[in-house]
Amino acid sequence: MNDTFLKACRGEKTDYTPIWIMRQAGRYLPEYQKVRGKVTFLELCKTPELCVEVTLQPIDILNVDAAILFSDILIPLEAMGAPLEFHEGHGPVFPEPIRNQADLDKLIVPDPEEHTGFVMDTIGLLRKELNVPLIGFSGAPFTCATYLIEGGSSKVFWETKKMMYTNPELFHNMMRKITDTTTLYLKAQAKAGAQALQIFDSWAGVLAPCDFKTFALPYVQEIIRDLQDTGLPIIYFANNGATLLEMSESSGANVLGLDWRINIGDAIKRIGNVAVQGNLDPFSLLLPKVELKKRIGRILDDAKDAKGHIFNLGHGIHQFTPPDQAKSAVEFVHELSQK
């Protein structure tokens, strides 16, 4: 069993810097496309045998040090009772967005085993196959709320901020329900066998620091506090969160994910008590290999004083990335960080 990733999460010494890649199972891999060609995205998410297959693909192809469950942050939101559709080429759509208390009252706090048993089954099957640790995950409540309120992806978050500013009570009621759902969902993943948990706050960076503090952070803190009895390392990734680092550290997470917009050494000076994960610009994978290797060396060097460092991209790998470049990045991290 390769436990380098788990050691780095806990801030223990490792023989080399472990690496995994956000969205490592996905469309940039022809092997994924082949499986995905036969089913819709939601069918894929709900078929444990296929989820296992695509979760394992990057482990074999790239030689990464951790696996991440194949699923999506929107799966537990559908389980709350919000119909979810994926339109090819357009991403997720919630055709019945949540805009008032009556909409919200229709949503439930689902029992994770009953409504998302396929996720727990996938985790159980994966643990029998894997020789690297398995990361379970969820969205952070704020990021989840944006999809439910906007009715899908957004760039400006008009409806979300409108609710926050004009009806904060409704917004908090909604965060309450999503938080309760997320806590139960992550606890169920831990029980099923996940060995670390990552909370994706993909849209945290659109908030003013004072709003992050009022409307988003307390719910993340609560989830992490309630997960303490699982004993699992928790990774909190607030994308575009360089201005939110100190507050993110107060989330209680063991590891903070960093996007590429901040120098990793500068970040470590500000958040010395936690391990860090990141932070190569996903588009750096397009650099000629010699340049890519230099950049990776620079990040490893800048992160040398970290309490623990897990190498990763600063956000998900782009769908048009040549897999061979991702494979080289993994090799370079392993080679350059060898103690």
Q: Provide the edge-to-edge strand list for the sheet that holds 255-257.
A: 67-68, 134-139, 196-201, 234-238, 255-257, 275-280, 309-313
Which residues are known binding-site members for substrate?
A: 23-27, 72, 147, 202, 315
Residue ranges binding ligand 1CP (CB under 6 A): 22-27, 36, 41, 68, 70, 72-74, 91-92, 137, 153, 200, 202, 239, 316
Other beta carbons less than 10 A from residue 50's beta carbon: 18
Q: Which is nearer to ligand 1CP, 181 or 336 (CB)?
A: 181
Q: Which is nearer to ligand 1CP, 26 or 141 (CB)?
A: 26
Residue 21's closest CA among 48, 71, 55? 55
- Residue 90 CB, nearest approach to ligand 1CP (Å): 8
Q: How far apart are CA 226 and CA 219, in angstroms?
A: 11
Q: Which is nearer to ligand 1CP, 179 or 336 (CB)?
A: 179
Q: Which is nearer to ligand 1CP, 3 or 72 (CB)?
A: 72
Q: Which is nearer to ligand 1CP, 75 or 264 (CB)?
A: 75
Other beta carbons less than 10 A from residue 128's beta carbon: 8
- Residue 307 CB, nearest approach to ligand 1CP (Å): 24
- Residue 133 CB, nearest approach to ligand 1CP (Å): 14
Q: Which is nearer to ligand 1CP, 22 or 220 (CB)?
A: 22
Which residues are known binding-site members?
A: 23-27, 72, 147, 202, 315
Q: Active-site residue numbers?
A: 23, 27, 36, 72, 147
- Residue 118 CB, nearest approach to ligand 1CP (Å): 14
Distance of CA 163 to the CA centre of its chain: 25
Q: Which residues of 160-182 are buried (b: 16+ CB within 10 A; e: fewer)?
A: bbebbeeeeebbeebbebbbbbb
- Residue 25 CB, nearest approach to ligand 1CP (Å): 4
- Residue 171 CB, nearest approach to ligand 1CP (Å): 19
Residue 21's closest CA among 62, 72, 75? 62
Classify residue 317 as exposed, middle or buried by CB count within 10 Å of its CB (0-12, 13-18, 19+).
Answer: buried
Contacts 24+ apart (CB under 8 A), 30-37: 30/323, 31/57, 31/61, 32/57
